[in-house]
Amino acid sequence: MKKLLLIITLFTLVLSANEYNLKPIKITKDITCVIGDYHPPMKSNKGFVSNMCYVNIGDSLVVLDAGPTYKFANEFYELMKKEYPKLKISNVILTNYHDDRIGGAYFFKKLGATIIGHKTLNSEIEHHKDKYDRLSMFLSKEFLEGTNIILATKLVDGGYKIKGSKKTLEILKLSKISEERSDIAVYSKDDSFLFVGNIVFNGRALNYRKTSNIDGWIEALENIKKIDAKYVLGGHGKEFNKDSYRYSLEYLKTIRAGVKKAYEQELEDEDLVNSVDVKKFNTVNHFKQLNYNNINNYVEQLEFAE
């Protein structure tokens, strides 16, 4: 009987240790990533909707975004240990303040890693505290144990470098504001790899928020083009080729031009939103739900700017 109980206990532990069933993808020899679900956070994906990576810089590993929960971060860490059992994690870079990117940061902080974010990150975390309870609507307290929203321990601006024995990673601020003020990118010149967080979406519609800036977002995307990296991985979507940013850029340019034209024609509300021709972009996930809000948010920004 005791032997049976032990087997059941061990089996339960194995199952609970693989809640997210992470599937690593090798982008380059030294860069490994996992690709999040296309849908919003829900019970089925347990909040894992964003892409995350780790980079071997020679004498340590650098993690690009921490994931949604403590449990996720732990499983992500197990991938790293399996591939690099002797390397510690020196730094975790948070590419903006959203819960799907920072929820697992506490796990890495406990390991001794420096948690890095843009100089505006902590103020955005403090300002948006009311947005950090959505996972608790469909995940149990037991599942979320250890998931604490913490502040970055090091705030930086564009140009900050993390130097390893084998390569250097550089944090880039591609514009003042894109989707969020705290959006940053991480560039490994040695790998010709650019991780751009929520500046790039593919496979699903982007989310233009009331806090977004369309000119800044387009500027950031055009700066990605100038860098001309071989691999460009956004925050959402499985594409990581050099042109993966193009959908986001063309969509935002279309919205900007279409809304301004309709606004100059003094079209009213619904007619204005519906006048923007975005049919060529509507094949991605959640387009119908998000496109209306995207255009409407930009219209409101123009109205309040007067």
Q: Which amino acid is at 39?
A: H
- Do 80 and 61 touch, CB atoms closer than 8 A? yes
- Domain span holding position 224: 20-243
User: How many residues would you count in the chain?
Assistant: 306
pLDDT at 18: 84
| CATH code of residue 151 | 3.60.15.10
Local confidence band at 63 (pLDDT 50, 70, 90 cut-offs): very high
pLDDT at 10: 38
Residues 6+ apart with CB under 8 A from 89: 54, 60, 61, 62, 63, 77, 80, 108, 111, 112, 113
Is residue 283 exposed (0-12), middle (13-18) or buried (19+ Cβ within 10 Å)?
Answer: exposed
How far apart are alpha carbons 292 and 222 in whole angstroms?
24
Counted domains in the chain:
1
Instruction: Look at residue 53 and tell me if it is in a domain.
Output: yes
Instruction: Look at residue 40 and tell me if it is in a domain.
Output: yes
Q: What is the CB-side half-sphere exposure of residue 246 using CA atoms within 13 A?
A: 7
- Do 139 and 115 touch, CB atoms closer than 8 A? no
Sheet harboring 231-233: ordered strands across? Answer: 161-163, 168-172, 185-188, 193-195, 231-233
The end-to-end CA distance of the chain, in Å, is: 76
Provide the pairing of β-strand 154-156 with 52-56: unpaired
Instruction: Look at residue 175 and tell me if it is in a domain.
Output: yes
Q: Could you read off the pLDDT of 142-176 as tens digits, one per residue?
A: 999 999 999 999 999 999 999 999 999 999 999 99
Taking 70 as the threshold, does the pLDDT of residue 12 lie above it?
no
Instruction: Look at residue 12 and tell me if it is in a domain.
Output: no
Instruction: Look at residue 286 and tell me if it is in a domain.
Output: no
Instruction: Look at residue 259 and tell me if it is in a domain.
Output: no
Instruction: Quote the percentage of the chain above a pLDDT of 70.
Output: 94
Instruction: Look at residue 193 and tell me if it is in a domain.
Output: yes
Q: Could you read off the pLDDT of 212-228 as tens digits, one per residue?
A: 999 999 999 999 999 99
How far apart are alpha carbons 197 and 245 in whole angstroms?
11
Q: Could you read off the pLDDT of 285-303 as tens digits, one per residue?
A: 999 999 999 999 999 998 8
Instruction: Look at residue 94 and tell me if it is in a domain.
Output: yes
Q: Which two tokens stand for residue 25?
A: 């993808």
